Amino acid sequence: MTNPLLQTEGLPAFSDIRPEHVEPALKTVLAENRAIVDAVTSETAEASWETVVLPIELMDHRLARTWSPASHLNAVVNNAELRDVYNRCLPLLSDYQTEIGQNEALYHAYRRVAQRDNLDPVQRKVVEDALRDFRLSGVALDAADKERFREIMQRLSVLSARFEEHVLDATNAWSLHIRDAAELAGLPEANQARARAEAEQRDEDGWILTLDFPTFHAVMSQAENRQLREAFYRAWVTRASDQASASDSWDNAPVMDEIVLLRQEAARLVGLDSYAAYSLVPKMARDPAEVVAFLEKLAARSRPAAARDMAALEAFAGQTLEAWDVAFYAERLRRKTHAISDEELRPWFPVERVMAGLFQLVEKLFSIRVELLEDVQSWHDDVRYYRITDAAGSDRGGFYTDLYARAHKRGGAWMDDCIGRVDVCGRHVLPVAHLVCNFMPPVNGRPALLSHDEVLTLFHEFGHTLHHLLTRIGYPSVAGINGVAWDAVELPSQFMENFAWDRSVLKSMTGHFETDEPLPDDLLGRLLGSRNFMSGMQMVRQLEFALFDFRLHSMDPPPQGEDILALLADVRHEVAVVPYPSFNRFANSFSHIFGGGYAAGYYSYKWAEVLSADAFSAFEENPDGLFGGDAGNRFLKEILEVGGSVDALTAFVNFRGREPKIDALLRHSGIGSEEQATAA
């Protein structure tokens, strides 16, 4: 039987992939890749772009194409059999990656290629990135240290997956059975209907509320029952911790301790003072001091606004607020101040209408067309597949959407690489992406209805999707999001969010799910007027996460156990305005830094938001409006199409004509510009 993970043409055959296919496919490709490395590093091989770099680029693409579907399925349709084989494969993959990174013969072959004067700028970027990654993999270490580095990388791959699994299992395990309808007062009708359906599915009476994010958010912002809000808050912030009511085997504290120690040891092995310094080598920021100064400056500018926000909330509530009260009273104050609420807006944002408006927007901006394709294999009935073509009618790639929350699917929202672009050696492969969210699914015949925050999330992830799909670069390692400095990779995603606040865009993508009537002007005006509502609190919340992450990975030795909690408490004392209870164990479910790629990099969201706000201001400055002039075409050509083939700062300057400034971010956040602060 043919292994579907080994096919190299067309889209992945998702419905044919079984857990038993994963390990054999991975082992096959790893063996083939090792043979390629042996061939390009043989004593008789010439060290040129064509004989060294291109074969490595193509073999890396083949590995990514094989592993990506398996990794994706583990995230969106997780089950015991798939999880087991996925975890068995992680050490194989880690060992291989470290082996390649520490291969001295391959490293020296790349060095010889780098000395050639016939490389064009994109080729030189590919080679320089590779040489940097060799050094970060410990290529210069002695045999004993190389082996220790390999052991660390293997163990970290296992621990990161375990962290994610603990969060997923703890989330899936928790539910609350409600038998009295009065306890659900204020909870939107759609959430109540979903909870009743869950109870019926379990052959129970009443309502069963689960801990998926759409339910959690609805309870925290809408439920009048304070005890219900507290119960959900406690369940959410104690997931995978010693404070949770679920299994102790899911406590992530030991996992976190080991992760930060191993990261620090790996950094030390390659001659860097901390994992924070290690993480910055391929980023825009030059050193840890620059990142800390950036975050602390932004915090100093933002905290007074956040304190005013919190004071206004407590004055409105007429009481001192606990953490589980904040979202509830914020929603009510928003209704009073701006006469608007998420639930009032939802009927105007049916997901299909929003998607159509989003596609119309990018057609205006970038002269592309998005169309739904039928009969494409997928992993779930909710999944859709879309093709993108350009103004000339040429295919540019495609993407899957998986928009709704369900059991055994990782929480959050993300874009991931399904297939990368290739255009070398007569091989032409178009890029494909996964766009994943966790919105509340359709209920009782009603379509999925989005809050405006969820619209922002969709625009954000679609920005990543465009970055991956619209690249013109043919070398996989610098095509699309590959090779982009991590603290610049959020630029296109956060840039796209700005359009979800534009009046004309909002009018085009809204229509009442029953009447198709566009969003009324008065309601639209109230939504736009609420843009900076509680923006100070939102800003310091992100800075809290970023400072905790960066300081955690800067300390030598890294904190352990209670010291991690103490570090988080210190950061909160410095920047936060919301009171946190002693049982809060947020760090135990902070998957971005312990399970994902944001370790010592969470600051990237704010760093890139400076870039994105400044980039969007180029559109705002256009006298003919957002869609006048050539700003969209320049953003396409200087940011999206170049992928990682151009240094991130250079790409920004090529688009904007100057280096980035922080003023647009502060203005969009309602905090004020540098000049205004100085004058005050």
**Contact yes or no for 364/636 (Cβ under 8 A):** no
**Contact yes or no for 641/431 (Cβ under 8 A):** no
Cα separations in angstroms, 8 against 3, 61, 523, 533: 11, 10, 50, 49
Q: List 104's β-bridge partners, or say none.
A: none
Read off the DSSP letter of residue 182. Answer: G
**Contact yes or no for 371/386 (Cβ under 8 A):** yes
In 174-247, where does DSSP find H-type helix? 189-201, 213-222, 226-237
What are the backbone angles phi and psi of residue 642, rounded to the nearest 5°? -80, -15
Tokens of 129: 């990135």
**Which run of H or E residues covers position 27?**
helix 19-40
Among 248, 191, 182, residue whose Cα is nearest residue 214? 191
Q: Could you check whether the bond before residue 557 is cis, i.e. omega within 30 degrees of 0?
A: yes
Instruction: Give the integer Cα–Cα distance in Å for 586 and 506.
Output: 34
Instruction: Give the integer Cα–Cα distance in Å for 264 and 94.
Output: 18
Tokens of 302: 């933002």
Instruction: Give the integer Cα–Cα distance in Å for 476 and 377.
Output: 25
CA atoms within 13 A on the CB side of 342: 24
What are the backbone angles phi and psi of residue 486, rounded to the nearest 5°? -60, -30
- The three-state DSSP-derived secondary structure of 642-662 is CCCCCCHHHHHHHHHCCCCCC
Of the candidates 198, 461, 544, 638, the residue annotated as catalytic is 461
Q: Is 638 a catalytic residue?
A: no
Instruction: Give the integer Cα–Cα distance in Å for 248 and 241.
Output: 7
Angle in degrees, CA 241, 244, 249, rounded to 5: 60
Instruction: Give the integer Cα–Cα distance in Å for 160 and 163.
Output: 5
- The three-state DSSP-derived secondary structure of 354-415 is HHHHHHHHHHHHHCEEEEEECCCCCCCCCCEEEEEEECCCCEEEEEEEEEECCCCCCCCCEE
Among 35, 28, 9, residue whose Cα is nearest residue 67? 28
Among 459, 521, 539, residue whose Cα is nearest residue 493? 459
Helix axes 521-529, 323-338, angle to 10 degrees: 130
Tokens of 618: 């180029």
Cα separations in angstroms, 558 against 113, 259, 274, 374, 563: 39, 10, 9, 51, 9
What are the backbone angles phi and psi of residue 460, rounded to the nearest 5°? -60, -55
Taking residue 175's Cβ as centre, other Cβ atoms within 10 Å add up to 15
Give the residue numbers marked as catalytic: 461
